[in-house]
Amino acid sequence: MKRFFSLLFLLVVVSNVFSQKDNTVVKTNTGLISGIQNKESNIYIYKGIPFAAPPVAALRWKTPQPVTPWTGIKKCETFGASAPQGKPVPFSMYTSEFLIPEEPINEDCLYLNVWTSSIKSTSKKPVIVWIHGGAFISGSGSCPIYDGENMAKKGVVFVTINYRLGVFGFLAHPELTKESPTHSSGNYAFLDQVEALKWVKKNIAAFGGDPNRVTIAGQSAGSFSVNALAASPIAKGLFQRVIAESGGMFNTDERTLTLPIAEQNGIKILEKVKTSSIAEMRNMPADDLAKAVGYGMVGPVIDGYVLPENIYNIYSQGKQNDVPVLTGWNRDEGFAPPNTPSPEDYKTSAQKKYGELADAFLSAYPGNTTDEIKRSQVVLARNTTFAWHAYTWARLQTAKQKNKVFLYQFDKVPPENEQYGAFHSAEIAYALNSLHTWHRPWTEADKNIENIMSSYWVNFAANGDPNGKGLPLWKPYSTRQNALMEFEEKEIDMKSIDGLSGFEFIDKWQKHLNEKK
């Protein structure tokens, strides 16, 4: 009898183990995978799902290739490798929550992660695909602050992705252009993102998601990426809405890399690493190549394929993917120069750089005192890198397309970050309902903004409109009203855009630069 009960106990244990494993198994187009569940067993989590073949050796600087199917059940319980980049080290306001885990970092990096409350194909939940920031040289979908558990609890299937960075993601070169069937080179990072979206289109129903209600979202370089995908013909039909936090590429000035310029930069990179061909560079160890090249000389390219022309022109002509847009910026996210000039030097510098537009510049960005100059430098840096792009996006889309734009400014200063203000990236944890991953003494005001902001994001993913029961009314942008939703400590409400003259000056300056070409 004792032996009988021992065997019975063993069978129960084994049965429980198998039922636990089976509980998370999902079928993808390349094979079965298993994941894990959260502590409450109400969220399924899958980490390190391959969406493309490793872009190594002969596949370095190639269009992402299909994953080789597998047999059995692949365990997807830990994050895949992050793309090659410098060692993640906290600095300024960027604590460990914003950084990737140190290991693994590997060129074999094309993985994505999924959080969902259902793995029934009939659930048809809205999907958010999050594209990480990091200036196109760092970052990963595994950063703690992107944890998708709470967003999944709010009703979306939340996906984070990796993509190639730095020289691996953006090298252009005549040899690469010649070998490409699209006669282009340079935008491998964007091609990775498109491949991830294709994977979502094919597979997300198995994770309870609706392949026809996909929102691409991102911050900083992720927002730049969202802007590129929204403008790109090769991404058409892969998403139905976009969320862009702090970033866009509407500039038409000297920062724009055309394919010929990018190819010349690529030739210089080959010289720098002392190689004579792309074949030689493909044989270099990834670490050696990354260290030899550094982080300059590469970036998004107007390549004629991913981006047929500059994004400002695409939107001006109404040629973008016409989907609802939610976009905005943070109040204090400008990276100002370390040194503050005197009022006299500030004025002289403005006259030298802007010529006949100097008076318009000094009116929009005044510099009569040192304190005024410091603030003007922050606002100018914020506007030229982030805010003006969101404003221009709203203005151009409203003029040319039927789908609405919802514009915001984030003013909340996180606790223990007073010296940095509402800094670049401060909004992420509020928008993604992930304050729990960021270790700060959160107040009720912080938690209230987190709840409201993440609810707006989820509603927008579901319906293309952020509004919902119990939330302050968020009106779509109009050129007549020039208003936005402002997220601040004491109030969340529609406000007139502050500092429009700063945007209007950048418009004039961009026009001036174009006329000089």
Instruction: Check residue 144 and report its DSSP letter.
Output: G
Burial class (CB in 10 A: 0-12, 13-18, 19+), 95: middle
* Secondary structure letter of residue 74 according to DSSP: E
Residue found under tokens 């016409």: 322
Angle CA(104)–CA(144)–CA(211) in degrees, nearest 5? 95
DSSP class of 383: I
Q: Report how far Cα 113 is from the mean position of its chain's Cα atoms.
A: 15
Q: How many CB atoms lie under 10 A from the CB of residue 358? A: 16
3-state DSSP call for residue 399?
A: helix
- Considering only CA atoms, which of 472, 441, 437, 442 is closest in space to residue 455? 472
Q: Alpha carbon 34 to chain centroid distance? A: 27
Token reading at 411: 């003013």
DSSP annotation of 273 reads T
Q: How many helices (H) and strands (E) in the chain?
A: 17, 16
3-state secondary structure (DSSP) of residue 218: strand
What's the CA gap between 359 and 367, in Å, rounded? Answer: 11
The token pair that represents 237 in the structure block:
């039909």
How far, in Å, CA of 216 to CA of 233, rounded?
15
Q: Which tokens is 493 given?
A: 């409400």
Nearest to 326 by CA among 154, 496, 466: 466
The two tokens of residue 20 are 């636990």
Strands 36-37 and 492-496: unpaired
Instruction: Tell me if 156 sits within 8 A of 128, measured CB to CB.
Output: yes
Report d(CA 302, CA 261) in Å as an integer. 10
- C-beta of residue 136 within 8 angstroms of C-beta of residue 80: no
**Is 220 part of the annotated catalytic residue set?**
yes
d(CA 67, CA 29): 10
Tokens 């223990």 locate to 416
Question: Looking up tokens 């106990």, which residue turns up?
Answer: 9
Catalytic residue (one of 117, 184, 220, 454): 220
What residues are paired with 112 via a beta bridge?
49, 161
| Cβ atoms of 239 and 210 closer than 8 Å | no
Q: Catalytic residue positions?
A: 220
